[in-house]
Amino acid sequence: MEFCMEITLTDKAIKQFDQIFAKNSDPDALLKIGVRNGGCSGMSYTIDLVKAVDGDVLTKEMGNFKLVVEVEHEQFIKGLVLDYNDSILNSGFRFSNPQALETCGCGSSFSIKKSEEN
């Protein structure tokens, strides 16, 4: 089952993923964004190239690639903006999550309200 999602990738992030997909020889690869328990603030973001996903997913066409998120992860990253910083000293993906109550210094882990409060 496929749905639409509320995640935004900036032009810089899309450009970076386009380059990643261009280097990947699998035309069926998908960009999967999600979360896992861990990190200094409680949850960490995940970014993976996958061939397929099982179960219910949210999808979004991003031009040259398709973005997928497992339905159960959407509550944690709804409204997420993913950017890419290409500076020499500090390059990498940057996550801006409107639901995050706390974010660690590196920006890759966060905490949100308990599900009863959402």
The predicted-structure confidence for 22-33, as pLDDT tens digits, reads as follows: 898 888 899 999
Residues 6+ apart with CB under 8 A from 25: none
Architecture of domain 2-111: Sandwich (2.60)
**What is the average pLDDT across 3-29?**
87
Consecutive H or E run containing 76: helix 71-77
The phi, psi pair for 75, rounded to 5°, reads: -60, -25
pLDDT per position as a tens digit, 79-96 = 899 999 988 888 899 888
**What is the average pLDDT across 86-115?**
72
Any idea where the domains of the chain sit in the sequence? 2-111
- The pLDDT > 70 percentage for the chain reads 78
